[in-house]
Structure 1
Amino acid sequence: MSESDSWEYSLSVPNDPRAVTVSRRTLRLVLTVHGLIRFVDVAELLAAELVSNAVLHTKGPAALRVRWAAGVLRIGAWDADPEPPQPPTPFERSGDAEGGRGLALVRACSDVWGWQPLARDGNRGKYVGCELTSAA
């Protein structure tokens, strides 16, 4: 396979904090196999934040989706809560807060990010994702 080929992977994960580690390691393997190692560090950070939010803030299953097409890496997480995510908290306002910085990191480290309502396997929910066009 070459970098010009398009592909997509989806990993369903349970509502379990260990799903974040499984998602990161799976993403690293996928990117390495496809010769996209230059994206690994930033992509792992983004996937960890997205899957962590899906697992921590919902009660149902989640899924990691990774797609490569036309030189753009898309990373996202689906969760079973159809409510929109909380807007990213600016770093300068988050202070010492333990939470609230995840989407701010996604916004800061990706070229584009967003969310949309999305049903999966008959479950209503949402997809929160981002795009990388460079290793940032």
Structure 2
Amino acid sequence: MRWLGRGERRVLVANGIDGCMTRKPWELPFLAEPEEVAALRRVVRLHLRLWGLSDVADAAEICVSELAANVIRHVGAGTPSTLVVEMNGTRLRLGLRDPDTRELPRGMSVGLDAETGRGLALVEAVSDRWGVILGADSKLVWCDLATQLASPNGHVDQPWVTRSEACLTLYGAGAATMDRAQGRAGFAVQQETAIALIADLLHWLCAHGCDPDAALDRAQMRFESTVTAR
């Protein structure tokens, strides 16, 4: 694994308030071609990682793959489509919009030995619910995935997140007071405090004869291992 490049960070969410993030609705136009499906899966996983929702990335990839395949199979390869990613309360909503309002998906039961017709059955299996929103000249097939969020703009409680917030509270108490006096608050303050803490820890490592680049590599490997395990 590698550090994200600056170009990939364009899907980072905007800063929120009260220590939370705002997960803004996001759309990606694409042509419904078989070779595009893998790219859709990758961008969804990246987006969910930046949203702090890596724990539902596997299910999200399945849903996006099957919804895209449904468009290719029933509407036609090359159909201009749009991937929609947004929050529906504390649920993650994924959707695919296409211009065909006549071909509506239907749930179906398939036999164990069936080679086709499993798409929506898989979506039904991994999601809480799914449906179709008809517009004047398009339809949106959507599905909702349950998350571990307590609030739409909150974060998933994990031991490492709790420990980090405790460290940031102690480290940034003075800086946070100054930042709030200057009109900055919430996540913006915490983000800057986290960056300052990382920088100071690198200085501490240097002062003790450690290579900061090697330490960053080890930290990244540990981070990636916990992300993969979720």
Verify same fold: TM over 0.5: yes
- Deviation of the 1:4 alpha carbon: 5.4
Q: Secondary structure at 2:37's aligned position in 1?
A: helix
Partner of 1:29: 46
2:134 aligned residue: 117
Deviation at 1:84, TM superposition (A): 4.3
Is there any run of 5+ residues in structure 2 with no aligned partner, and where? 1-14, 149-230
TM-score, structure 2 normalization: 0.51
Write the letter of the residue equivalent to 1:70: G
Aligned pairs for 1:1-136 (under 5 A) are 1=15, 5-59=22-76, 60-90=79-109, 93-119=110-136, 124-134=137-147
**Structure possessing the higher relative contact order (Cα contacts under 8 Å, 6 or more residues apart):** 1
TM-score, reference length from structure 1: 0.83
Number of equivalent positions? 129
Q: Distance in 2 between matches of 1:33 and 1:97?
A: 37
Q: Which has the higher strand share?
A: 1
What SS is found at the alignment partner of 1:94? coil
- CA-based RMSD: 2.0
CA contact (8 A) 1:3 1:34 kept: no
Q: Equivalents in 1 of 2:131, 2:91: separation in Å?
A: 15
Which deviates further from its counterpart, 3-12 or 103-112?
A: 3-12
Provide closer, same or farther for how the CA distance between residues 95 and 70 of structure 1 changes in structure 2, counting only shifts above 3 A: closer
SS at match of 1:14: strand
Could you tell me how far apart the structure 2 residues matched to 1:101 and 1:71 are? 27
More helix by share: 2
Residues 33-91 of structure 1: per-residue CA shift (max 9 Å, x gap): 1111111011111111111111222132111111025311000111121124342222x
* Moved >4 Å (runs of 4+): 1-4
